[in-house]
């Protein structure tokens, strides 16, 4: 299942290349020596992970709790030399969003995605206001419209694909009446490269896992980011049997008040043969895939190394195809917005089609939106109304999320 090897020294050289490239999931062989790297940061009792693709695309998934923001920001500045290509908040809890504003202020971000699940916390509202004013494109992971299992898949170049498995609004309703509805509607991601895969599940609950198991999804993973810091309710036996992780990374704080990770969860992981790495014990965990195998080490370079042989099918489903959102080449150091209709959502009607003639700008922002844009619905910032597009263009540029 996996082979444990001890090495005296390992140095992974990463090439950060500017620009975007489109690539759907593909089982085709990949070039060895071009790593896909995932940094599972040590942020205490919280989650934060950075994906760096072989072509230098960067995706930050969650931002840890507020008390870890300085440490997280310092690591982001070390690893990211330009704006983040995408910022993903799996769900609106403070231990996942506390450092995001600081990280974006440090390096910038081109796109922001969250589930779109309403949450009353002031920290979440502040984040949405900040994102609306500082990030060019704001989106939710709406599934593709063409099939029952259509999903949003983002190509990160060289065959690397990031697929959203959950949630599926508006095709399927959010889960409600669970132990934690915010947790249950966490964005669940499957990152694939050749024969290797990472399953990143936020704080998914048993209800989330059951919903995923009911669909024809490929959940197999070389590495699993364990849900909810190893809490006893998540990582059910059925879910682990379907995902078959060879290694499991638990992002958890030392001597936390919740008893994470739970003995029950550790036992279930052991039952499927997963080797467990914990940030409270190992610190930052770094996983590097060449498309054929995954090597895991600690950031400090000490401790045992795992070399996992890839044995997964990169397809996100066992039947219907996914909808692919390519991340396209643009001017050096910048990202071109995806064409309309390629975001996994139906193209939005133009103002002429809907009878709408007003455009809206948010205070402090350099862009303007359609008045029906979802960004406006989620922001509390002061607004400026423009009677037509020409008037808005005299003061601002079009936003990339609604293409006004």
- pLDDT confidence of 380, banded at 50, 70, 90? low
Closest CA to 48 of 76, 28, 14: 76
What pLDDT score was predicted for residue 25? 42
Ranges 5-9, 55-59, 202-206, 232-236: which has the least confidence: 5-9
Mean pLDDT score across all residues of the chain = 81
pLDDT at 30 over 70: no
Please give the pLDDT value at position 321. Answer: 35
Of the candidates 370, 402, 400, the one whose C-alpha atom is nearest the C-alpha of residue 136 is 400
Q: What's the pLDDT at 8?
A: 33
d(CA 185, CA 233): 15
With beta carbons less than 8 A apart as the criterion, state whether 308 and 246 touch: yes
Q: Name the superfamily (CATH) of residues 3-326.
A: Ribonuclease Z/Hydroxyacylglutathione hydrolase-like (3.60.15.10)
Of 26-40, 133-147, 176-190, 340-354, where does mean pLDDT reach its minimum? 340-354
pLDDT at residue 84 is higher than 90: yes
Q: pLDDT digits over 245-267, tens only?
A: 999 999 999 999 899 999 999 99
Sheet with 188-193: strands ordered across:
275-278, 247-250, 223-225, 196-200, 188-193, 160-166, 152-157, 323-326
Beta strands in 140-211 (DSSP E): 152-157, 160-166, 188-193, 196-200
Residues 6+ apart with CB under 8 A from 305: 5, 6, 7, 10, 295, 296, 297
Instruction: Give the pLDDT confidence score for residue 302 in this predicted structure.
Output: 62
Among 264-268, 309-313, 354-358, name the one with the lowest average pLDDT: 354-358
**Lowest-pLDDT choice from 93-107, 122-136, 162-176, 340-354:** 340-354
Q: To the nearest whole percent, how much of the chain has pLDDT over 90?
A: 60
Percent of the chain with pLDDT over 70: 76
- As a whole number, mean pLDDT of residues 155-181 equals 94
**Position 312 pLDDT exceeds 80:** yes
pLDDT at residue 10 greater than cutoff 60 = no
- Does residue 91 contact residue 188 with C-beta atoms inside 8 Å? no
**Boundaries of every domain in the chain:** 3-326, 351-398
Q: Assess whether pLDDT exceeds 90 at residue 377.
A: no
Highest mean pLDDT (candidates 6-10, 15-19, 155-159): 155-159
Residue 166, pLDDT > 80, answer yes
Phi, psi (5° rounding) for residue 300?
A: -75, -15
pLDDT at 249: 98
How far is Cα 228 from Cα 278, in angstroms, rounded to an integer?
Answer: 13
Q: Which of 18 and 101 is assigned the larger pLDDT? A: 101
Band (pLDDT 50/70/90 cuts) for residue 400 is low
């950075």: which residue's tokens?
50
What pLDDT, on the 0 to 100 scale, is given for residue 52?
98
Highest mean pLDDT among 32-36, 141-145, 220-224, 333-337: 220-224
pLDDT at 357 over 70: no
Compare 400 and 1 and report the one with higher pLDDT.
400
For residue 332, is pLDDT > 90? no
pLDDT (tens digit per residue) in 187-222: 999 999 999 999 999 999 999 999 999 988 999 999
Task: State yes or no: pLDDT of 396 exceeds 80.
Answer: no
Per the confidence metrics, is the pTM higher than 0.85?
Answer: no
């Amino acid at each position: 299942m996996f082979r444990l090897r001890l090495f005296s020294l390992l140095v992974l050289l990463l090439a950060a290349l500017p620009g975007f490239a489109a690539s759907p999931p593909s089982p085709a062989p990949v070039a060895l020596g071009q790593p896909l790297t995932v940094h599972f940061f040590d942020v205490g009792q919280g989650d934060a992970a950075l994906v760096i693709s072989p072509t230098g695309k960067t995706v930050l998934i969650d931002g840890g709790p507020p008390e870890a923001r300085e440490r997280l920001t310092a690591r982001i500045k070390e690893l990211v030399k330009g704006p983040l290509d995408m910022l993903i908040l799996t769900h609106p809890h403070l231990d996942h969003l506390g450092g995001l504003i600081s990280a974006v202020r440090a390096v910038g971000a081109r796109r922001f995605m969250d589930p779109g699940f309403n949450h009353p916390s002031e920290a979440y509202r502040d984040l949405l206001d900040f994102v609306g004013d500082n990030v060019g494109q704001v989106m939710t992971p709406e599934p593709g419209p063409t099939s029952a299992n259509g999903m949003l898949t983002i190509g990160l170049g060289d065959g690397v694909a990031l697929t959203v498995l959950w949630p599926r609004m508006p095709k399927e309703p959010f889960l409600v009446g669970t132990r934690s509805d915010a947790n249950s509607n966490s964005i669940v991601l499957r990152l694939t490269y050749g024969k290797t895969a990472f399953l990143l599940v936020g704080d998914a609950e048993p209800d989330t896992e059951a919903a995923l198991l009911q669909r024809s999804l490929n959940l197999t993973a070389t590495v699993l980011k364990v849900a909810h810091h190893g809490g006893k309710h998540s990582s059910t036996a059925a879910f682990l049997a379907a995902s078959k992780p060879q290694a499991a990374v638990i992002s958890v704080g030392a001597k936390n008040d919740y008893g994470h990770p739970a003995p029950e969860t550790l036992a279930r992981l052991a039952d499927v043969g997963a080797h467990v790495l914990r940030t409270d014990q190992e610190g930052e965990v770094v996983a590097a895939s060449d498309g054929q195998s995954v090597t895991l080490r600690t950031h400090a370079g000490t401790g045992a190394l795992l070399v996992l042989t890839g044995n997964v099918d990169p397809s996100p489903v066992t039947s219907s195809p996914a909808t692919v959102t390519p991340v396209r080449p643009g001017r050096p150091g910048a990202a071109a917005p995806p064409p309309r209709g390629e975001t996994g959502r139906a193209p939005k009607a133009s103002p002429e089609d809907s009878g709408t003639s007003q455009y809206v700008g948010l205070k402090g922002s350099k862009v303007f939106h359609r008045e029906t844009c979802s960004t406006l619905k989620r922001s509390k910032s002061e607004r400026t109304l423009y009677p037509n597009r020409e008037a808005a263009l005299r003061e601002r540029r079009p936003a990339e999320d609604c293409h006004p």
